[in-house]
Amino acid sequence: MQNNSAILLAAGGGSRMRGSVKDKTLAPLLGKPVLYHSAEAFIESGVVSEIIFVCRDDEQIAQIKTHLAPILKKIAHTFTYGGAERQDSVLNGLLKTSEKSENVFIHDSARPLVGSDNIKKLSEALKSDSCAVLAAKVVDTIKKLDKNPNELRNRELIDLERPLLWAMQTPQAFKRSIILDCYQKVNSSGAKITDDVAAAVKSGYKITIVENIYPNPKITVPEDLAMVEFLKSKGSI
Protein backbone atom coordinates (compact mmCIF):
# COMPACT_ATOMS: atom_id res chain seq x y z
CA MET A 1 0.00 0.00 0.00
CA GLN A 2 1.40 3.36 -1.07
CA ASN A 3 1.37 6.47 1.15
CA ASN A 4 -1.19 8.41 -0.85
CA SER A 5 -4.46 10.08 0.13
CA ALA A 6 -7.87 10.27 -1.50
CA ILE A 7 -10.16 13.20 -0.76
CA LEU A 8 -13.83 12.45 -1.42
CA LEU A 9 -15.94 15.59 -1.61
CA ALA A 10 -19.44 14.97 -0.27
CA ALA A 11 -20.45 18.32 1.23
CA GLY A 12 -22.41 19.68 -1.73
CA GLY A 13 -26.01 20.55 -1.03
CA GLY A 14 -27.49 18.96 -4.16
CA SER A 15 -30.02 21.77 -4.65
CA ARG A 16 -30.49 20.86 -8.32
CA MET A 17 -31.80 17.42 -7.33
CA ARG A 18 -35.15 19.23 -6.86
CA GLY A 19 -35.91 17.46 -3.60
CA SER A 20 -35.90 13.97 -5.14
CA VAL A 21 -33.30 12.87 -2.59
CA LYS A 22 -32.10 14.55 0.59
CA ASP A 23 -28.43 13.75 -0.02
CA LYS A 24 -27.31 12.66 -3.48
CA THR A 25 -24.07 11.17 -2.18
CA LEU A 26 -26.10 8.79 0.00
CA ALA A 27 -28.81 8.10 -2.58
CA PRO A 28 -29.14 4.39 -3.39
CA LEU A 29 -27.29 3.19 -6.48
CA LEU A 30 -27.63 -0.54 -7.15
CA GLY A 31 -28.26 -1.16 -3.48
CA LYS A 32 -25.37 0.92 -2.17
CA PRO A 33 -24.99 4.66 -1.51
CA VAL A 34 -23.53 6.73 -4.37
CA LEU A 35 -20.52 7.58 -2.20
CA TYR A 36 -19.84 3.88 -1.54
CA HIS A 37 -18.91 3.24 -5.18
CA SER A 38 -16.18 5.90 -5.27
CA ALA A 39 -14.70 4.80 -1.96
CA GLU A 40 -14.73 1.20 -3.12
CA ALA A 41 -12.91 2.09 -6.35
CA PHE A 42 -10.11 3.82 -4.46
CA ILE A 43 -9.73 0.91 -2.05
CA GLU A 44 -9.68 -1.61 -4.90
CA SER A 45 -7.05 0.43 -6.76
CA GLY A 46 -4.54 -0.18 -3.98
CA VAL A 47 -2.88 3.19 -4.53
CA VAL A 48 -4.17 5.08 -1.48
CA SER A 49 -3.56 4.46 2.20
CA GLU A 50 -6.23 6.79 3.55
CA ILE A 51 -9.49 8.43 2.56
CA ILE A 52 -10.56 11.88 3.75
CA PHE A 53 -14.33 12.42 3.60
CA VAL A 54 -15.29 16.09 3.32
CA CYS A 55 -18.81 16.29 4.70
CA ARG A 56 -21.64 18.74 5.17
CA ASP A 57 -22.39 18.19 8.86
CA ASP A 58 -22.36 15.71 11.76
CA GLU A 59 -25.56 14.06 10.57
CA GLN A 60 -24.01 13.23 7.21
CA ILE A 61 -20.85 11.92 8.89
CA ALA A 62 -22.94 9.60 11.07
CA GLN A 63 -24.80 8.29 8.03
CA ILE A 64 -21.57 7.68 6.12
CA LYS A 65 -20.13 5.76 9.06
CA THR A 66 -23.24 3.58 9.08
CA HIS A 67 -23.76 3.01 5.36
CA LEU A 68 -20.08 2.58 4.46
CA ALA A 69 -19.13 0.50 7.52
CA PRO A 70 -18.21 -2.64 5.49
CA ILE A 71 -15.52 -0.86 3.48
CA LEU A 72 -14.38 1.67 6.07
CA LYS A 73 -12.89 -1.30 7.92
CA LYS A 74 -10.51 -1.80 5.02
CA ILE A 75 -8.73 1.56 5.04
CA ALA A 76 -7.65 4.40 7.31
CA HIS A 77 -10.10 7.27 7.10
CA THR A 78 -11.07 10.54 8.68
CA PHE A 79 -13.78 13.17 8.33
CA THR A 80 -13.76 16.91 8.01
CA TYR A 81 -16.25 19.61 7.10
CA GLY A 82 -16.87 21.41 3.84
CA GLY A 83 -16.58 25.15 3.37
CA ALA A 84 -18.58 27.85 1.64
CA GLU A 85 -17.21 26.93 -1.80
CA ARG A 86 -15.76 23.79 -3.35
CA GLN A 87 -12.24 25.22 -3.11
CA ASP A 88 -12.70 25.77 0.64
CA SER A 89 -13.82 22.16 1.03
CA VAL A 90 -10.80 20.88 -0.88
CA LEU A 91 -8.41 22.89 1.28
CA ASN A 92 -10.08 21.54 4.41
CA GLY A 93 -9.55 18.04 3.06
CA LEU A 94 -5.93 18.69 2.14
CA LEU A 95 -5.19 19.92 5.65
CA LYS A 96 -6.44 16.59 7.01
CA THR A 97 -4.22 14.43 4.81
CA SER A 98 -1.26 12.69 6.37
CA GLU A 99 2.06 14.49 6.10
CA LYS A 100 3.47 11.12 5.04
CA SER A 101 1.32 11.11 1.90
CA GLU A 102 3.21 11.69 -1.31
CA ASN A 103 0.24 12.11 -3.63
CA VAL A 104 -3.36 13.26 -3.27
CA PHE A 105 -6.34 12.25 -5.41
CA ILE A 106 -9.26 14.69 -5.25
CA HIS A 107 -12.62 13.30 -6.34
CA ASP A 108 -16.23 14.49 -6.52
CA SER A 109 -18.29 11.81 -4.80
CA ALA A 110 -21.14 12.53 -7.21
CA ARG A 111 -19.08 10.73 -9.91
CA PRO A 112 -19.65 7.11 -8.81
CA LEU A 113 -18.57 5.50 -12.10
CA VAL A 114 -14.87 6.14 -11.54
CA GLY A 115 -13.00 2.88 -11.99
CA SER A 116 -9.95 1.59 -10.17
CA ASP A 117 -8.09 1.25 -13.49
CA ASN A 118 -8.26 4.99 -14.12
CA ILE A 119 -7.11 5.69 -10.57
CA LYS A 120 -4.11 3.46 -11.23
CA LYS A 121 -3.38 5.36 -14.47
CA LEU A 122 -3.35 8.65 -12.57
CA SER A 123 -1.01 7.12 -10.03
CA GLU A 124 1.32 6.03 -12.83
CA ALA A 125 1.30 9.55 -14.27
CA LEU A 126 2.43 10.96 -10.93
CA LYS A 127 5.56 8.82 -11.04
CA SER A 128 6.98 11.25 -13.60
CA ASP A 129 4.73 14.32 -13.39
CA SER A 130 3.40 16.57 -10.62
CA CYS A 131 -0.22 17.04 -11.70
CA ALA A 132 -2.60 14.77 -13.60
CA VAL A 133 -6.29 14.89 -14.42
CA LEU A 134 -8.82 12.41 -15.74
CA ALA A 135 -10.45 13.99 -18.78
CA ALA A 136 -12.46 13.18 -21.90
CA LYS A 137 -12.22 14.53 -25.42
CA VAL A 138 -15.01 16.95 -26.25
CA VAL A 139 -17.14 15.47 -29.03
CA ASP A 140 -19.75 18.23 -29.37
CA THR A 141 -19.15 21.48 -31.21
CA ILE A 142 -18.64 24.15 -28.55
CA LYS A 143 -19.43 27.82 -29.17
CA LYS A 144 -18.48 30.75 -26.96
CA LEU A 145 -20.61 33.85 -26.41
CA ASP A 146 -18.81 37.12 -27.04
CA LYS A 147 -20.19 38.63 -23.80
CA ASN A 148 -23.19 38.64 -21.38
CA PRO A 149 -23.97 34.95 -20.77
CA ASN A 150 -27.60 35.64 -19.83
CA GLU A 151 -28.74 37.07 -23.17
CA LEU A 152 -29.40 34.31 -25.71
CA ARG A 153 -31.18 36.04 -28.62
CA ASN A 154 -29.32 37.24 -31.72
CA ARG A 155 -25.88 36.53 -30.37
CA GLU A 156 -22.47 36.50 -32.00
CA LEU A 157 -20.90 33.08 -31.46
CA ILE A 158 -17.18 32.41 -31.34
CA ASP A 159 -15.83 29.13 -32.73
CA LEU A 160 -13.48 27.04 -30.59
CA GLU A 161 -11.11 24.40 -31.97
CA ARG A 162 -12.72 21.13 -30.90
CA PRO A 163 -9.50 19.01 -31.15
CA LEU A 164 -7.99 21.24 -28.45
CA LEU A 165 -10.93 20.93 -26.03
CA TRP A 166 -11.03 18.47 -23.15
CA ALA A 167 -13.73 18.05 -20.49
CA MET A 168 -12.14 17.94 -17.05
CA GLN A 169 -13.37 15.19 -14.73
CA THR A 170 -12.26 13.79 -11.40
CA PRO A 171 -10.18 12.34 -9.85
CA GLN A 172 -7.55 15.03 -10.22
CA ALA A 173 -4.20 13.99 -8.77
CA PHE A 174 -1.17 15.88 -7.50
CA LYS A 175 1.94 15.76 -5.41
CA ARG A 176 0.59 16.60 -1.95
CA SER A 177 3.07 19.37 -1.18
CA ILE A 178 2.37 21.08 -4.51
CA ILE A 179 -1.41 21.10 -4.44
CA LEU A 180 -1.54 22.10 -0.77
CA ASP A 181 0.68 25.10 -1.49
CA CYS A 182 -1.35 25.98 -4.60
CA TYR A 183 -4.65 25.90 -2.74
CA GLN A 184 -3.34 27.98 0.13
CA LYS A 185 -2.21 30.62 -2.36
CA VAL A 186 -5.53 30.57 -4.23
CA ASN A 187 -7.66 30.87 -1.12
CA SER A 188 -5.52 33.60 0.42
CA SER A 189 -5.67 35.60 -2.83
CA GLY A 190 -9.45 35.46 -3.03
CA ALA A 191 -9.38 33.91 -6.51
CA LYS A 192 -12.34 31.74 -7.55
CA ILE A 193 -11.77 28.37 -9.22
CA THR A 194 -14.06 25.47 -10.11
CA ASP A 195 -11.61 22.58 -10.20
CA ASP A 196 -8.26 21.56 -8.79
CA VAL A 197 -6.07 21.82 -11.87
CA ALA A 198 -6.99 25.51 -11.98
CA ALA A 199 -5.23 25.97 -8.64
CA ALA A 200 -2.09 24.32 -10.03
CA VAL A 201 -2.22 26.28 -13.28
CA LYS A 202 -2.41 29.57 -11.37
CA SER A 203 0.92 28.65 -9.77
CA GLY A 204 2.48 27.87 -13.13
CA TYR A 205 2.31 24.08 -13.14
CA LYS A 206 1.63 22.07 -16.28
CA ILE A 207 -0.95 19.29 -16.28
CA THR A 208 -0.82 15.75 -17.62
CA ILE A 209 -4.11 14.54 -19.12
CA VAL A 210 -5.11 10.93 -18.59
CA GLU A 211 -7.75 10.18 -21.20
CA ASN A 212 -10.93 8.53 -19.97
CA ILE A 213 -12.87 6.62 -22.62
CA TYR A 214 -15.56 5.47 -20.19
CA PRO A 215 -18.63 7.37 -18.94
CA ASN A 216 -17.88 9.35 -15.79
CA PRO A 217 -20.82 11.73 -15.39
CA LYS A 218 -21.49 13.85 -12.33
CA ILE A 219 -24.88 13.37 -10.71
CA THR A 220 -26.43 16.83 -10.71
CA VAL A 221 -30.16 16.43 -11.47
CA PRO A 222 -32.55 13.54 -10.66
CA GLU A 223 -32.37 12.16 -14.20
CA ASP A 224 -28.60 11.66 -13.81
CA LEU A 225 -29.13 9.12 -11.05
CA ALA A 226 -31.22 6.88 -13.32
CA MET A 227 -28.70 7.20 -16.15
CA VAL A 228 -25.75 6.36 -13.89
CA GLU A 229 -27.59 3.36 -12.46
CA PHE A 230 -28.21 2.08 -16.00
CA LEU A 231 -24.56 2.53 -16.99
CA LYS A 232 -23.32 0.91 -13.79
CA SER A 233 -25.65 -2.06 -14.22
CA LYS A 234 -24.35 -2.59 -17.77
CA GLY A 235 -20.73 -2.43 -16.63
CA SER A 236 -20.06 0.69 -18.73
CA ILE A 237 -16.95 1.70 -16.79
Report the DSSP pairing between strands 166-175 and 131-137: antiparallel
Task: Check whether 12 has a pLDDT greater than 90.
Answer: no
Q: What is the dihedral of CA 123, 124, 126, 127, to 10 degrees?
A: 130
pLDDT at residue 18 is higher than 90? no
- CB distance 59 to 25 below 8 Å: no
Q: What local confidence, expressed as pLDDT, does residue 42 receive? A: 98
pLDDT at residue 2 in the model = 80
Confidence of residue 13 (pLDDT cuts 50, 70, 90): low
Please give the pLDDT value at position 146: 87
Choice among 113-122, 126-135, 221-230 with the minimum mean pLDDT: 221-230
CATH node for 4-136+168-233: 3.90.550.10
Whose CA is closest to 10, among 96, 98, 80?
A: 80
89 within 8 A of 54, measured Cβ to Cβ = yes
* Domain boundaries along the sequence of the chain: 4-136+168-233
Query: What pLDDT shows up at residue 186?
Result: 97
Mean of all residue pLDDT scores within the chain: 94
pLDDT tens-digit profile of 176-220?
999 999 999 999 999 999 999 999 999 999 999 999 999 999 999
Gap between the Cα atoms of 103 and 97, Å rounded: 10
The pLDDT of residue 234: 81
For residue range 120-140, what is the model confidence (pLDDT) as tens digits?
999 999 999 999 999 999 999
**Contacting residues for 42 by C-beta, under 8 A, at least 6 apart:** 6, 8, 48, 51, 75, 105, 107, 116, 119
Flag whether pLDDT at 237 surpasses 70: no
Q: What is the value of pTM for the model shown?
A: 0.94
| pLDDT value of residue 14 | 59
